[in-house]
Amino acid sequence: MAKALVTGASGFIGARLVRNLVERGEDVKCFVRPTASRAALKGLPVEIVVGDITIEHTVYRALAGCDRVYHVAAAYKMWDPNPATIMEPAIRGTREVLNAIKRRGSHIERVVVTSSVAAIGASAAAEPMDESFKWNLADSEIYIVAKRRAEELALSMSDELPIVVVNPCGVFGPGDARPTPSGGLIVKYLNWKGPIPFPVSAGGISVVDVDDVCQGHIGAMTKGRIGERYILGGENLSFTRVVEAMSSITGLRGPGKPAGKGLAELVGRGMELWARLTGNEPEVTYKLSRDFYDTFMWASSGKAEAELGYKHRPARKTLARAIRWYLDRGYVDPSVATEIRYDDLPGPDPAPSLPHERTAVFREG
């Protein structure tokens, strides 16, 4: 029976992709780091292999019996005092995964590499970008540069390997346990206290549901053209409208008036300095404020819709699913949670009743 290897299978998109594949009846092998939590994979009938994407032979061994690969693994954090912790998994990790696939040869029928809309760019105009947009973030935060370089590396090898790249936009939804920087914005909103209105920036994002992104990955695997990239976006909203939607769903405060960009950049510098002193990750950095405060990461999924059959749900449904998941799992202060009224929220995301996982551990030597 054919089997798919998913790297980064314990992460937000990776774990939801595994779930989507299992629900399709597919056989899945999950590649995870030794220290990674497997909570999101609990109960799924999958094989788990332990290794490191930056160590080629652990990937090579994991590929045994597989004919498809979803390379999802990445360090999803915008800033680190040691940039190599973000850049290394992106560049070296992608290189070693693809080198391992080359060693496996013709056994691998297709490789889908997860990039990001950040590798497409950001626009000063409130108009959707497509795959032909000229990238303009070469001096941006390290995560963004890393995603672009990893994508370029993958596409440069598409004449040797059957590689398709997907570029998800702002991904939200059930299962974002850490949470990611995107989901963290919702958690912060839900827990916001005090008389000051919740402030937003002047730009916007494309809001997409994690399960729609997973279906886009599957479409890329089955229908994507080798050497091409596909934006997997959703509804394009200003940040003000995002907060308005969350306010409508929860009954909590609406958006405040955006502060000036100069103040946002100053706050970013201050948070970076504080992060260096405390070891915590800053909520915003100078470069993020500079590059995204008044720009739009709006995107068109027209190519994916036409070629992959890609579809996405409305942003309100996506945000509602994410909010419900965080509320049900205790991410919200009880004193705030009791104030929330539910409007247009779907039911809890059920965990499937499935057989136990199988585990294989690969060690060096």
81: its two tokens: 């005092």
pLDDT winner (highest mean) among 189-198, 263-272, 347-356? 263-272
pLDDT higher at 285 or 25: 25
Tokens of 347: 């039911």
Q: What distance, in Å, lies between the first and last C-alpha atoms of the chain?
A: 30
Tokens of 333: 């202060």
In a domain, 351, yes or no: yes
Do the strands 235-238 and 204-209 form a parallel or antiparallel pair, or are they unpaired?
A: antiparallel
Residue 354 has pLDDT above 70, yes or no: no
Distance between CA atoms of residues 223 and 215, nearest Å: 12
CA 76 – CA 8 distance, rounded (Å): 11
Residue 277 lies in a domain: no
What is the arithmetic mean of pLDDT over 136-165? 94
Q: Would residue 266 count as lying in a domain?
A: no
- Determine the pLDDT at residue 273: 85
On whether residue 333 sits in a domain, the answer given is yes
Q: Which two tokens stand for residue 42?
A: 């609990």
The answer as to whether 278 is a domain residue is: no
Handedness of CA 74, 78, 79, 83 (dihedral sign): positive
The answer as to whether 326 is a domain residue is yes
Q: Using the predicted structure, report yes or no on whether residue 79 has a pLDDT greater than 80.
A: no
SS3 call for 208: strand
On whether the CB atoms of residues 296 and 126 are closer than 8 A, the answer is yes
Q: What mean pLDDT comes out for the span 287-293?
A: 84
* CA atoms of 222 and 229, how far apart (whole Å): 14
Task: Tell me the pLDDT tens digit for each residue of 55-64.
Answer: 999 999 999 9
Q: How far apart are CA 125 and CA 207, in angstroms?
A: 17
What is the rounded distance in angstroms from the CA atom of residue 253 to the CA atom of residue 190? 9
Residue 108 lies in a domain: yes
Q: Determine the structural domain holding residue 188 and report its residue range.
A: 3-255+289-361
Task: Determine, yes or no, domain membership for 280.
Answer: no
* 225-246 per-position pLDDT tens digit: 999 999 999 999 999 999 999 9
Residues 158 and 227 sit within 8 Å (Cβ to Cβ): yes
Q: Report how far residue 6's alpha carbon sits from residue 34's, in angstroms, rounded to the nearest whole number.
A: 15
Indicate the residue type of 113: V
Cα 355 vs. chain centroid, distance in angstroms? 27
User: How many domains are contained in the chain?
Assistant: 1
**CB-based contact 167:301 (threshold 8 Å):** no
What CA–CA distance (Å, rounded) separates 137 from 24? 37
Q: Is the CB of residue 161 less than 8 Å from the CB of residue 111?
A: yes
**What pLDDT shows up at residue 365?**
30
Mean pLDDT of 10-32: 97
For residue 147, give the 3-state DSSP assignment. helix
364: pLDDT confidence band, cut at 50, 70 and 90? very low
Residue type at position 281? E
pLDDT at residue 77 is higher than 90: no
| Least confident piece of the model among 42-51, 94-103, 285-294, 302-311 | 285-294
CATH number of the domain to which 327 belongs? 3.40.50.720
